[in-house]
Chain A
């Protein structure tokens, strides 16, 4: 895998790497993709209709409102909060 591809994938994943880390990631990913490439030799097609994704539709709950968490509990793990989540200024 070349450096440009690693840069593209890291951008998708919102990750940044130093030049040295990028080189290492490219090397690791190349050996990992070699294993993944073994599946190219088998000729089969996915049939979504046969896959229930392990979701048991009979188990879906009623769409009714229920108690939620108090605001302070939800904010307790935010490093920077003032009765709401705080993000850098987006609009000037």
Chain B
């Protein structure tokens, strides 16, 4: 059996039809991880023993005829999602030995459906970055070219899906951290509407922007996972008390008459011509299927990176103040006073990028600069939301490139943080406006590297972005990763 070709729903049929056992399926993935992850470095922690036990339990549920959509399906989990009894490091020396005393709500939900967790995937430290090269442990590579980055921050999850080292994975997205690595690794990643999925147990980066979501082989598989993890949670006051629809419901419905907007600023200078052409070609295809392309404008896009980094870093500097080396996390061996101990623990535990974000956040919030930076960024947040609301009055979804370029070399851009920040231009506004968006492959460049396009939806309308992505995927000539 070639697990690389299987989608979650194929596995479901095989498991329910007794063509394969949950243990055999888990073993096939564990073998692939053992054989190839030494090169790819997508997992920080692999949990074979726990996976075998979970597979046994899943099999008994399958045998009893009570299997859910994900029972026995082998999944990987980003290492900033708390897993009771399994290390959750955030790819940081600060949390190198941290074993959560509880499960994130998404894990409780997935475990209730008896998934098989294969392990925890690498990421940029504390989800701060777009390359997975700020990981303190595993600097994940791209499955299409080991000399290139997988994107980030959920680079381990996206690479593991791209290389078929799991059936699908969970990631988290604060400014593009699900969509951009999905784009770089040639897979599909869905950032849900803010409030759709509980953040309880997701290690906080920027609380008003963070959202957990699936990375999978296609939009249909993403929908299946989103069905399992969505819903109000009393542990998270920002999770929404509203009904959860079946996110697969619109799959297969005709897109004739669908209005697709293309804000011109997303296709301006700075976007690689091959990327622009691939997304425009996809737009033409939609038009041929009966969709209508709507021209529109988002004038505030040029300020979006600044607004995002000011808001996200301000929240990060507050959220990360909890790491004092005393309650949990790295504790320095040097420091006779309380304040010295805290300062030394933080300075030894955090990497360079995390420290930069703390400095930037403190700058944005400090006396004399607050109004000029944080206040202005919050005003821009309102303006960007208004511009999206206005565009959505005339369309159903918005189509943009997911990233300005394809995956770049592992040593490129790392020493230039400002350049790295500007590369987030295509994704950050979605988080600022709390919208759902999916990235799906729409082409390959001259070197065979995947190009992703993003379909952005109205708040709470994940079903339509899934519908639009799925219909494109069904005719797309997908090229699997070489690894």
Residues of A within 8 A of B (CB): 1, 5-6, 8-10, 12-17, 25, 28-29, 31-40, 42, 44-47, 50-51, 53-56, 58-61, 69, 73-74, 76-80, 85-88, 90
Instruction: With A51-B382, A88-B338 as known contacts, state yes or no: A36 contacts B237, CB within 8 Å.
Output: no
Q: Which residues in chain B, 367-390, are within 8 Å of chain A measured between CB atoms? A: 372-373, 375-383
A36 touching B356, Cβ below 8 Å = no
A37 to B338, CA, bound (A): 37
Q: Measured between C-beta atoms, what is the minimum distance from B178 to chain A in Å?
A: 18
CB-based closest 10 A-B pairs:
A77-B328, A79-B331, A73-B101, A46-B379, A31-B418, A13-B358, A46-B378, A59-B241, A44-B379, A12-B362
Please give 12 more A-B residue pairs, beta carbons under 8 A apart, in addition to A31-B418, A51-B381, A51-B382.
Answer: A1-B363, A5-B363, A9-B362, A15-B355, A32-B356, A39-B377, A39-B380, A40-B372, A45-B375, A51-B378, A56-B240, A59-B232
B102 touching A69, Cβ below 8 Å = yes
A69 touching B101, Cβ below 8 Å = yes
Q: Which residues in chain B, 299-345, are within 8 Å of chain A measured between CB atoms? A: 300, 302-303, 305-307, 309-310, 317, 321, 325-329, 331, 335-344
Interface residue B297 (Cβ < 8 Å from any Cβ of A) = no
B356 touching A15, Cβ below 8 Å = no
Interface residue B50 (Cβ < 8 Å from any Cβ of A) = no
B339 touching A85, Cβ below 8 Å = no
A6 to chain B: which residues have CB within 8 Å? Answer: 359
Q: Measured between C-beta atoms, what is the minimum distance from A25 to chain B in Å?
A: 7
- The residue from B238, B363, B379 contacting A9, defined by CB atoms under 8 A apart: B363
B350 to chain A: which residues have CB within 8 Å? Answer: 15
Interface residue B366 (Cβ < 8 Å from any Cβ of A) = yes
A51 to B182, CA, bound (A): 31
A29 touching B327, Cβ below 8 Å = no
B418 touching A85, Cβ below 8 Å = no
A13 touching B359, Cβ below 8 Å = yes
B328 touching A59, Cβ below 8 Å = no
A78 to chain B: which residues have CB within 8 Å? Answer: 326-328
A50 to B389, CA, bound (A): 14
A50 to B378, CA, bound (A): 11
B377 to chain A: which residues have CB within 8 Å? Answer: 39
Q: Measured between C-beta atoms, what is the minimum distance from B232 to chain A in Å?
A: 6
Residues of B within 8 A of A (CB): 97-99, 101-102, 194-195, 208, 232, 234, 237-241, 300, 302-303, 305-307, 309-310, 317, 321, 325-329, 331, 335-344, 346-347, 350, 355-356, 358-364, 366, 372-373, 375-383, 416-418, 421-422, 434
Q: Measured between C-beta atoms, what is the minimum distance from A54 to chain B in Å?
A: 5
Instruction: With A16-B344, A58-B241 as known contacts, state yes or no: A35 contacts B326, CB within 8 Å.
Output: no
A54 touching B238, Cβ below 8 Å = yes
A9 touching B337, Cβ below 8 Å = no
Determine the residue in chain A with the shortest Cβ distance to B365: A12
A8 to chain B: which residues have CB within 8 Å? Answer: 366
Determine the residue in chain B with the shortest Cβ distance to A28: B417
- The residue from A12, A32, A86 contacting B366, defined by CB atoms under 8 A apart: A12
B355 touching A25, Cβ below 8 Å = yes
Q: Measured between C-beta atoms, what is the minimum distance from A72 to chain B in Å?
A: 9
Q: Measured between C-beta atoms, what is the minimum distance from B175 to chain A in Å?
A: 14
> Could you show 6 A-B contacts with beta carbons less than 8 Å apart?
A13-B355, A29-B356, A45-B379, A47-B379, A60-B237, A88-B338
A25 to B239, CA, bound (A): 37
A88 touching B208, Cβ below 8 Å = no
A14 touching B346, Cβ below 8 Å = yes
Q: Measured between C-beta atoms, what is the minimum distance from A10 to chain B in Å?
A: 7
A45 to chain B: which residues have CB within 8 Å? Answer: 375, 379
Determine the residue in chain B with the shortest Cβ distance to A53: B208
Q: Measured between C-beta atoms, what is the minimum distance from B296 to chain A in Å?
A: 20
Instruction: With A54-B194, A88-B335 as known contacts, state yes or no: A59 contacts B101, CB within 8 Å.
Output: no
Determine the residue in chain B with the shortest Cβ distance to A72: B101
B328 to chain A: which residues have CB within 8 Å? Answer: 77-78
B310 to chain A: which residues have CB within 8 Å? Answer: 36, 39
B418 touching A47, Cβ below 8 Å = no
A56 to chain B: which residues have CB within 8 Å? Answer: 195, 237-238, 240-241
B317 touching A13, Cβ below 8 Å = yes
A1 to chain B: which residues have CB within 8 Å? Answer: 363
A46 to B356, CA, bound (A): 26
A56 to B195, CA, bound (A): 9
Best-buried of B302, B360, B364 by chain A (most CB within 10 Å): B360
B363 to chain A: which residues have CB within 8 Å? Answer: 1, 5, 9, 29, 33
A34 to B418, CA, bound (A): 9
A15 to B317, CA, bound (A): 11
Instruction: With A46-B382, A56-B195 as known contacts, state yes or no: A15 contacts B241, CB within 8 Å.
Output: no
B380 touching A42, Cβ below 8 Å = yes
Determine the residue in chain B with the shortest Cβ distance to A16: B347
A42 to chain B: which residues have CB within 8 Å? Answer: 300, 303, 376, 380
Instruction: With A39-B306, A78-B326 as known contacts, state yes or no: A88 contacts B380, CB within 8 Å.
Output: no
B343 to chain A: which residues have CB within 8 Å? Answer: 14-16
A61 touching B234, Cβ below 8 Å = yes
Determine the residue in chain A with the shortest Cβ distance to B422: A35
B417 to chain A: which residues have CB within 8 Å? Answer: 28, 31-32
A79 touching B238, Cβ below 8 Å = no
